[in-house]
Structure formats: C-alpha cells, structure tokens
Structure 1
Amino acid sequence: DLTVEENLNFFATIFGTTLKKNLHLIEEIYVQIEPFRKRRAGKLSGGMKQKLALCCALIHEPKVLFLDEPTTGVDAVSRAEFWEMLKRLQKRGITILVSTPYMDEAARCERVALIQNGNILQIDTPENVTRSYGKPLFSVKGKDTYRLLLDLRGQPFTERVEPFGEYLHLTTFAGIKMEEIKGFLHKKGHLEAEVSETQATIEDVFLDLM
C-alpha cells in the first residue's frame, strides 16, 4: 500500500514524467492532499482517495479523462467539491467522460447517455432529456408518505408513482386534472396532501424508459 507521495511518483514515472515537472497540472487539487503525502492511500477518507486518484490521472496532462463512478461512497460536501474541480478541468480543455448512478450529477454534464443493461436508451443534453418527458407529472406530499404511495399505486389514473425525497412523483395518463387527484386523496383521508404540477428530472425520464 503506497503513500500519497509514492502513488503520485509511481504514476508520473509510468507516463515518463515527474511529479516536480508536472506539479502545476494538479496543484489546485494537490494542495488539499499534500498535508497527507506520507499517509498510506488506504488510510485516506473517501473524498481524499478520490482526489488522489484524480491527481494520478492528471499527472501526465491527458486530453481525455475517464472516470467510473468517482463519487460513489463520498460524502455530499466532497461530492460537490469534486464536481467543481471537474468543471475547472473542463475549462482547461480536458474532455471528461463520467459514469455515475446519481442523476443530479448527470444533470451537471453537457451531454447525457442513459444506459440500462448495456443498452443506450437516450443521448442528449440534460435540458433536452428532461424536455422529452411528455406525460403529466405531479409532485405529491403528505403526512404519511408510505400510505400515500400505496393509495396512489393501482389507481386508474396512475401510470407510475415513485418516491423523490419527501415527495412522490406521480405520472398520470393524459387528461387527468389536478382536482381529480386532490379529490381522490381527500376521500382516502389525506386531507392535508399537497399536489402540484412539476418538471421532470433526468431520473423521471430514466425510469420511464426502463
């Protein structure tokens, strides 16, 4: 198990360069892990491991960077920092191809490919992907989310209903009005349920295409 410094020197050597020569390429990221340069990589936090991996990948100034689920298992703050770093790298002219299970991260990209079981379901900009969702979509919130979910599933007007945080995203068949949904929920005892039209997310589109 190599230290942070040993890992960087190892990858630099593989690509015929040195850490000293190309430090300027990774300096912005390296300053965050430099205090741990003598620590073994296996002892780093998830966020620090990802920053080290990014430094190792950038040490030879690549034209294209491939990242396979780089933020899986990383805390929310480190995830946000990591994506800010990727944006800055993109501005330096590096093409970045990222795989991610997080749809909010996919929305940060210039183009998105939705893939299931090795098949590409759709490729477009995030804006066009969400715009392609041509079905009525409602955001529903109530005190008892689980019972709300069960009551909405199986109803004649429901095409699909999925949890989205503290809300449910309800896709209905064409022609269903919001008042009909509210009336149904009122009869089921969800007297304080909130229903509103909402914009589709990439996750809505992905679930619809599956």
Structure 2
Amino acid sequence: MTLNKPIITIDNVSKSFGKHEVLKDINLEIQRGEIFGFLGPSGAGKTTLVKELVGLDTPTQGENLIFGEKMPSLSLMERVGYMAQADALYGELSARENLEFFASLYGLKGQPRKKRMDEVMEFVHLSGDINKLVSNYSGGMKRRLSLAAALLHEPELLILDEPTVGIDPVLRKSIWDGFYDLKARGTTLIVTTHVMDEAEKCDRLGMIRDGKLIAVGSPAELKENTGSRTIEDAFLVYGGA
C-alpha cells in the first residue's frame, strides 16, 4: 500500500530576526484533507510559520514544501487561500468592490465570479452587507469578509491565521460548521489559534511555545498522553509547567 504524500512538509525550519530566534528546528507533515491547528500563545511563532507556508516569508534554515514544491512559489498561489491576522481590506470600498478586486487577482470573471462572490458572502453570513463600505464594518465583520476573500478561488489548501478573533460564539460555530463542510469536500485547512475550545475542533494539533513545536497529535491523544482533562492542561504539561 502506498501512502499519500503529505500536502505540507516542514523540514528542519528555523527563523531568526537578528539574534532573536522565533522558530527553532520545526519538523512536521500535514496530510491532505485534515484540519490542522497550530496552538500557542501570542508571540509563540505561529504567524511567522504560516507566513512561510504561504510564501510571504522564508526560513533562515530548512525548507517548506507545499504540494511537493519548495516555497515560495508563485505557481502554487492559485491553489492556496490565505487569511492573515491583520485584515488586508480597502476601507474606502464596499465589500462587493473588495471581493471583485480579489476575484480579479485570481482571474475570476463574469457569471462564475458573481456566483462565487454570492456563495462566499453567504458562507460568512454577510450577504445583506455586500454593498456596505468596509470602513463601516465592525471588526468581526471585517474578519468574516477576509475569510470570504480567502475562499473566493476555491483553494485546495486554506491557511487561516486566527480566523475567528472578534467573532461572536454563534457565528463562530457556524463558520466552523463551514470548515467541516470544506474538509468534507477535500479542502485541507490550517488554523492558528490560542483559543482552547477551538483547538478541540481540529483533527490534529501542533502545540508551539517559544518557537518550538512541543507536541503533535489529535486533541484526544494529547490529553491521553498527559493524563489531562483539557487541552489547556495538556499544553501546560508539554510546556513543562
């Protein structure tokens, strides 16, 4: 039996800014069709790592492979969707105009573009606000619009940096239901979070502390291996608390 190749391989990756090392010898494989979560406090290195995975940064040592190709690679960008921690939106434009701009970057035109815009706005529950200026959006609405933009081109791999920060619990549950639906259709999702109940929703977790990958496994495995009742307790055990 031949095993499927991982969709992502992180091979001996370290990253330094001057003398400050923010990632330290990260080795990891992420499989196609799973929801993988990077869990860790602010400043742990999560954002630096996912920026490297989408080609916005490069490691000081090691390499990141996506679909078997070394990143950064412009040819892969159409297969990857990315939602940054900071919303990259144009406040002076409406949500519709923002989506039209991002759609044009991916070559979406005509009726397929309109259909896809309607679909992603429905996914994030913003259909009724599509003509509103983004400057009049709340912080949570901007997060949801950023997610819609990342989904426009139906990427095979979706990388989301703190996707539900500022979103109320009811909508957060709805968005996670959408993530499960995307997974069922074969999309691979990578989510960074520092929220423990959100970490529980992932198929597997990589716990990061001080730039080091301190544990990898399913939430159930991580709790069982540490004799913990919660992911938070397991994180504390792996972190040496």
1:50 Cα deviation from its structure 2 partner: 2.5
Counterpart of 1:204?
233
Residue 131 of structure 1 is matched in structure 2 by 224
Deviations 1:75-130 (A, max 9, x none): 22222122111111111111000000101111101110110111101000111011
Bigger drift between 48-57 and 95-104 goes to 48-57
Aligned twin of 2:153: 60
User: For 1:145-197, what per-residue CA distance to the aligned partner results, in whole angstroms no more than 9, with x for missing partners?
Assistant: xxxxxxxxxxxxxxxxxxxxxxxxxxxxxxxxxxxxxxxxxxxxxxxxxxxxx
Which of 170, 178, 181 is the equivalent residue of 1:77? 170
Q: TM-score, normalised by structure 2?
A: 0.56
Compute the TM-score of the two structures, normalised by the length of structure 1. Answer: 0.64
SS in 2 for 1:109: coil
Secondary structure (helix, strand or coil) at the match of 1:65 reads: strand
* Conservation of the 8 A alpha-carbon contact between 1:29 and 1:51: no
| Cα distance in structure 2, aligned partners of 1:129 and 1:19 | 48
- Say what the alpha-carbon RMSD is for the aligned residues: 1.8
Superposed counterparts of 1:1-80, under 5 Å: 1=91, 2-18=93-109, 20-25=111-116, 27-31=118-122, 32-80=125-173
Distance 1:45 1:85, change over 3 A: farther
Q: 2-side partners of 1:207 and 1:26: how far apart? A: 42
- Asked whether 1:122 is paired with 2:122, we answer no
Q: 1:6 to 1:19 in 2, by over 3 A?
A: farther
In 1, Cα distance between equivalents of 2:197 and 2:224: 16
Q: What is the rounded CA distance, in whole Å, between the counterparts of 1:117 and 1:19 in structure 2?
A: 47
- Please identify which structure carries the higher strand content: 2
- 1:41-190 equivalences under 5 Å are 41-134=134-227
What's 2:5 paired with?
none
Identity of aligned residues (%): 37
Shift of 1:28: 4.5
Unaligned 5+ segments in structure 2 are: 1-90
Cα separation, 1, equivalents of 2:204 and 2:147:
21
What is the CA distance between 1:29 and its match in structure 2?
A: 4.1
Query: Contact (CA 8 Å) 1:47, 1:78: kept in 2 or not?
Result: no
Answer yes or no: is the 8 Å Cα contact 1:130–1:202 preserved in 2. yes
Specify every segment of 5 or more residues in structure 1 that has no aligned partner in the other structure, as ranges. Answer: 135-198
1:42, CA displacement in angstroms?
A: 2.9
CA contact (8 A) 2:121 2:148 kept: yes
Find the aligned partners of 1:35 and 1:106 in 2 and give their Cα distance: 30
Matches of 1:102 and 1:19, distance apart in 2: 39
Q: Secondary structure at the match of 1:62?
A: coil
SS at match of 2:147: helix
- Normalized per residue, the structure richer in helix is 1
